Structure 1
């Protein structure tokens, strides 16, 4: 599949070193996205084999989400300061070893620890991969094509994670969904040997801003923790409110520190730049809907239509195809349409797809009527967004701050997705009822309401794009603005 995309979207005369860098970046992006979803369908088998309790099982997913979401800003900045090739190789090693450890785990605690360590590796990989694209490919068609591949690969990794997870769990066992990372990481590390050596950051020796790193890591981790626990504790519980309040205090302290230090982890001037601010707000809203679409569609297929894990995974393949179609269309049209209008168009299409899901989810649904059509419309819309998102998120950003911008946009993706999913899960539960629903009809109705609300979030994202992201991007580099 990746080869097909490359032949369609990447110039054949691209220098060999650049092609190799793109292969490494896309492999990294696919692997990180794959691991976000590959474990989900294996959770029942993991529970039965390792003896997880009802409260412990969600932490197989949450441990990864916490460390990944909490450390993204730090991972991106480390790449800027100590070298992106070094950071990439170190992140790959941590990610692969943690996958091996997870597959060998024999207790719940060991598996949860392995997943947390895997999230640390992913937090180094995701922003550095994004930064390598923005500093390697010049603004224009070449960068648009690379960003289109980046977005398509991320979406394909998430969708194929569900498929691969189901197939491996049914045919080999849940351990295989952890071991699958090892050969992919080995290939990426072998290919990364050909990447250019890291160059020192020009000027004085840079510092990491340890206070800022501690505050943003603690604040982002606490925020994700509060969100992922809200599903069970309730949004109005003292635990949830206290956790979210602590996150707000930590993040406010981070902002104050960053405004005062000379070498910040996140220079606040980036967010004054309207396209960068718009891209990050849009990313939060987009993935609030996309995370929800994956989650509720998977539940609908298995709990209402009675699909098995492998069949449910296969049902997501059209979503990956639609992302690829949308990304290719975006690379060919962004110069004419402009990033702001293209983002708005993609968001409206995705909103229509999510609304269609809501209308089509019922107990008599079929794949052709309830899944295929809305999957294609929503995914083509989402695919249209990745190229202009990457362009806007780095508009005017200096090369030495590319990792900072990469950490920021990836943090927006992860935190927005986590918050949106937790909120929509709570909404669905309120519709279904406190006992989890007594019938398939109630389940289908709850999932439908959640996805219709997700469509509303995408309409809001379209407004954000039109207001904050201009038709043409230009101006002084964000790295030079106050």
Structure 2
């Protein structure tokens, strides 16, 4: 029973991190008016979080392997709560930006620790592991849409500051729950830290995320985009060379070169670009074209959220232990592609019930078949002292995919200035293509059969 209580605690922490990727977006216009900062500054509230979170994930995962998952989980939850309190109380742009960067940094500690704790806690029973990853994957998949709804409610009825303060409540429950339920099992290994790998990985990821973040405002051919992205790619290449030579690498290459895990990372990274289209551009359409309020726009995603959660739990607990990820992830991606294609039919006077809702339902089923199986596969068969960095790779792939999606889809949309509906149609067709490509890759690369069991060492209080 304790392991299921632990899953609730870990899922709450994951929800907090995922919520923060969208809940603050809803609050930004109000925060900008209140603190009187510019539109250019507003972008940095989002970019600052993404830079810190995306660039520090591998380091956060490895710290969990070196110093203990529970210890890093508690540190991440505590730091995230403090940063949220500072951001909620911020009286100027600078302090709000510092708080957002700190949230990203502590989120990079928290997210891989939480996922690796799920992996090692549910390692001995394929059916229970599948159910656990189904629940955890459902939280990951639905959290972004929940953030839109919760952000609208809090901003409209309380204040934009509560979009940050709400994290304190969630963090408190997760912190005391972890103290009560989790304890470290076998002591993690103490090895020499890979400083060169850490520096090149962090700087490389910063360059890629920062450069892609500039694409919408600077244009793809600007030095502000190409310079950081190229430098980031070169540094990542150097990072890989370092990992091949050092005795205790930050990212053991066996973690990603395994066929199943490598395909899982590839799947979550590519599909992550397409998921961006659902939450951002459909929100724009609902509010700007159909005239929905922020709360109504958030509520419009609730049917999809329900199917994501139901599909993730069912596929994880019933289907995945029997079939493995090979049939599930491609089918999920095909359904997501169909849902995106259905959204290309939206018009200026379309009905939500007839034009939007059916596409959301199909997409929700598809996402439910993707999230749980992919997260499970990404941590399957990994050694206990590498579970943290394997989990970090899931979040890193998703973060990079989301950054690519933000840059590509926003750029596509700006090419249709004055023709908003046309831009939405192009974005959704492109997203459909992305999901279709992911389906082909997953079908070709995943192995047949159930997943290899993961090793475990965690004990529960």
Tell me the TM-score normalised to structure 2 length: 0.95
Task: Give 1:341's match in structure 2, choosing from 327, 331, 334.
Answer: 327
The answer on 1:210 being equivalent to 2:215 is: no
1:447 corresponds to:
424
> Is the contact made by 1:222 and 1:246 (CA closer than 8 Å) also made in structure 2?
yes
1:111 corresponds to:
96
2:45 corresponds to:
60
Runs of 4+ residues deviating >6 angstroms: 475-479
**Residues 173, 476 of structure 1: CA spacing in aligned structure 2 closer, same or farther, 3 A cutoff?**
closer
Q: Distance in 1 between matches of 2:28 and 2:291?
A: 17
Deviation string 1:232-291 (CA, Å, 9 cap, x unpaired) is 111111221111111011111111111111011101122221111110110011111112
1:132 corresponds to:
117
> Is the contact made by 2:131 and 2:314 (CA closer than 8 Å) also made in structure 1?
no
2:459 corresponds to:
none
1:91 corresponds to:
76
> Is the contact made by 2:272 and 2:401 (CA closer than 8 Å) also made in structure 1?
yes
Shift of 1:473: 4.6
**Residues 393, 303 of structure 1: CA spacing in aligned structure 2 closer, same or farther, 3 A cutoff?**
same
Shift of 1:87: 0.3
Shift of 1:335: 3.3
> Is the contact made by 2:313 and 2:372 (CA closer than 8 Å) also made in structure 1?
no
Unpaired stretches in structure 1, ≥5 consecutive residues: 1-14
Shift of 1:168: 0.8
> Is the contact made by 1:392 and 1:473 (CA closer than 8 Å) also made in structure 2?
no
Q: Distance in 1 between matches of 2:63 and 2:125?
A: 24
Shift of 1:410: 1.0
The answer on 1:141 being equivalent to 2:127 is: yes
Q: Distance in 1 between matches of 2:270 and 2:27?
A: 28
Shift of 1:139: 4.8
Shift of 1:201: 4.0
2:336 corresponds to:
350
| SS of structure 1 residue aligned to 2:344 | helix
Shift of 1:121: 1.1
2:176 corresponds to:
190
| SS of structure 1 residue aligned to 2:40 | coil
Task: Give 1:165's match in structure 2, choosing from 142, 147, 151.
Answer: 151
Q: Distance in 2 between matches of 1:252 and 1:186?
A: 40
The answer on 1:459 being equivalent to 2:436 is: yes
Q: Distance in 1 between matches of 2:182 and 2:455?
A: 26
2:10 corresponds to:
25
1:156 corresponds to:
142
Unpaired stretches in structure 2, ≥5 consecutive residues: 457-461
Shift of 1:209: 1.1
| SS of structure 2 residue aligned to 1:395 | coil
The answer on 1:224 being equivalent to 2:201 is: no
Deviation string 1:56-112 (CA, Å, 9 cap, x unpaired) is 101111111111111111111101110111101100111000110011001111111
> Is the contact made by 1:34 and 1:157 (CA closer than 8 Å) also made in structure 2?
yes
Shift of 1:388: 1.8
> Is the contact made by 2:76 and 2:109 (CA closer than 8 Å) also made in structure 1?
yes
| SS of structure 2 residue aligned to 1:470 | coil
1:9 corresponds to:
none
1:419-430 superposed matches below 5 A: 419-430=404-415
**Residues 182, 252 of structure 1: CA spacing in aligned structure 2 closer, same or farther, 3 A cutoff?**
same
> Is the contact made by 1:78 and 1:208 (CA closer than 8 Å) also made in structure 2?
no
**Residues 202, 156 of structure 1: CA spacing in aligned structure 2 closer, same or farther, 3 A cutoff?**
closer
Shift of 1:404: 1.1
**Residues 147, 478 of structure 1: CA spacing in aligned structure 2 closer, same or farther, 3 A cutoff?**
closer
**Residues 18, 478 of structure 1: CA spacing in aligned structure 2 closer, same or farther, 3 A cutoff?**
closer
Q: Distance in 2 between matches of 1:400 and 1:390?
A: 18
Shift of 1:401: 0.7
Q: Which has the higher contact order (CA 8 A, sep 6+)?
A: 2
> Is the contact made by 1:98 and 1:117 (CA closer than 8 Å) also made in structure 2?
yes
2:248 corresponds to:
263
| SS of structure 1 residue aligned to 2:428 | helix
1:300 corresponds to:
285
> Is the contact made by 2:321 and 2:450 (CA closer than 8 Å) also made in structure 1?
no
Shift of 1:337: 3.5
Tell me the TM-score normalised to structure 1 length: 0.91
| Count of matched residue positions in the alignment of Structure 1 and Structure 2 | 454
Moved more, 268-277 or 330-339: 330-339
| SS of structure 2 residue aligned to 1:193 | helix
Shift of 1:202: 5.8
2:359 corresponds to:
374
Q: Distance in 2 between matches of 1:292 and 1:243?
A: 24
State the Cα RMSD in Å: 1.7
